[in-house]
Each structure stands twice: as C-alpha cells, then as structure tokens.
Amino acid sequence: MHRDIKSDNILISSQGDVKLADFGYAVLLGADSNKRKSRVGTPCWMAPELIKGLAYTSAIDIWSTGITAIEMADGQPPYI
C-alpha cells in the first residue's frame, strides 16, 4: 500500500504516461500482517481511520485516491 497518494505524488509524462511516486511510506501487507497502525501521510488526504490511529488496510489508498480526484476537479482537496 502506498499510504500517501496525493496530487504531488502523481507524475504524468509528455506522452501521457502516469506514474505514482514517493514510496517513502509504502509497505507490503501479507498474510501475517494485513493491517497497519502507524500514522503516516499528508493530513488532507488521510483516511479517517488513519487520522484516529486505528488499524487500517489498503482501503486508505482508495480514500486518498478519491480525495485526489476531488482535488483535480475542484482545484484543492475538500478539507484544506
């Protein structure tokens, strides 16, 4: 899971190739550890369970992707 999806970490080449960057916070979830509890990321894009310090799964990346889509449509994230 990436854990810090936001517009700053999306790269687009002149050919239209899209890449996700900044894997400083990325972790691999496995059968022995399918949840995390550390609090990392950028606040405006963080899922509620991450902000609350609860255990979380890769679903937090879906939340951050949605916030990023809103940011692309509106010009800023909704909770800025």
pLDDT in tens, the chain (80 residues): 788 899 988 999 999 999 988 867 677 777 777 777 777 788 899 999 988 988 888 899 999 999 999 999 999 999 78
Catalytic positions are 4
Closest CA to 55 of 8, 6, 1, 17: 1
The CA R_g of the chain, rounded to the nearest whole Å, is 13
pTM of the model: 0.77
Q: According to the model, what pLDDT value does residue 37 have?
A: 75
Q: According to the model, what pLDDT value does residue 70 have?
A: 95
Total residues belonging to the chain? 80
In the chain, the domains with their CATH numbers are: 7-74 (1.10.510.10)
